Amino acid sequence: MVELSNVVDQILNLAESEPVYRFNEEATKQHLVLPILSALGWNIFSPEVMPEERVRGPYRYYRVDYSLRVNGKVKAYLEVKSLGVNVFEDKGALHQLVMYCTTDGVGVGLLTNGIQWVVLKAYEKDKSIEERVILKIDLRLRKEVELEKLKLLAKEIFERDDYITIIEERAKELMNKEQERSEVAIFTEHPEEAKLLDELTPEELSGRPKKLELYIYYKGQWHKLPVERNAWSMSLFTAVKFLYEHGFQDLYIPSYVETTYVRNPASTDVIGSWYVYRPENGGKAVSKLKELEKKTGVKIAIKVVK
């Protein structure tokens, strides 16, 4: 089996360099989704991965993009959208997928755009479709935990009779570990050596710092947020991610925090329904962080080590 991490790196590079996947669903299937399934142990050149599976609906027949089979038995239905579709937010696609699954008695539905993956249980008493989502995977985060989540879709898992329970329990374990790791340091006083945005000097904003830390003052406390790769380009996404996870709904900043791709996908990160374009330099990053302060009412400080 090809190393999964290598395949994920390859498809991320493809997705970030070729805009065709934003709109072309077939290209997304062939170039992004099938290589991942293959790396997960599925034989994509056999009926294990059956394209255009025929499903009988209430009034007519439908075609689901793929069925995943073990020994001839359908274990999951997989629907693919183009990369430009945020499958985390596409409720219509989720409802369609559940309809396919429940019609044919298939226990698990998978929805993906090649980079984002959603796993849901087709049946669960007294729970809405959204509440039946077991797992969300975002490969753009480039975190080890996302790879571990993806491995739950390996063929060897689906070979087990209790595959749904295994996926559900392991997903909960991974999410708990992820939450523990992502706990941010909290301060009641202004953090030492961190400066408010208006206090940063041109020298501090130039070039790439050795260390970059973001602090957000929210509900009477300063929250310390490490910035990925200590890069100014990731500072805006770091702030948007924190605010989104703490319930802020309006984070719109023209051309930089949008509800769809408006600029190069290679320079865009996604959190929930927001597409965050990476600022070109420190000055631009701070300018957009100031707009975010004004919109949300939080205070932002930054520690820069040159």
Mean pLDDT of 113-126: 91
Which residue segment(s) compose the domain that 98 sits in?
4-181
pLDDT at 237: 96
Q: Could you write out the DSSP letters of every residue in 60-119?
A: SEEEEEEEEEETTEEEEEEEE--TTS-TTT-HHHHHHHHHHHHHHT-SEEEEESSSEEEE
Q: Please give the residue that has the higher pLDDT: either 1 or 277.
A: 277
Q: Answer whether 0.85 is exceeded by the pTM.
A: no
The domain spanning residue 111 has which CATH number? 3.90.1570.30
The answer on 11 and 160 residing in a single domain is yes
220 shares its domain with 131? no
**pLDDT score for 301:** 96
Same domain, 97 and 195: no
Note the pLDDT of residue 191.
85
For residues 114 and 162, state if they share a domain: yes
pLDDT band at 152 (very low <50, low <70, confident <90, very high): very high
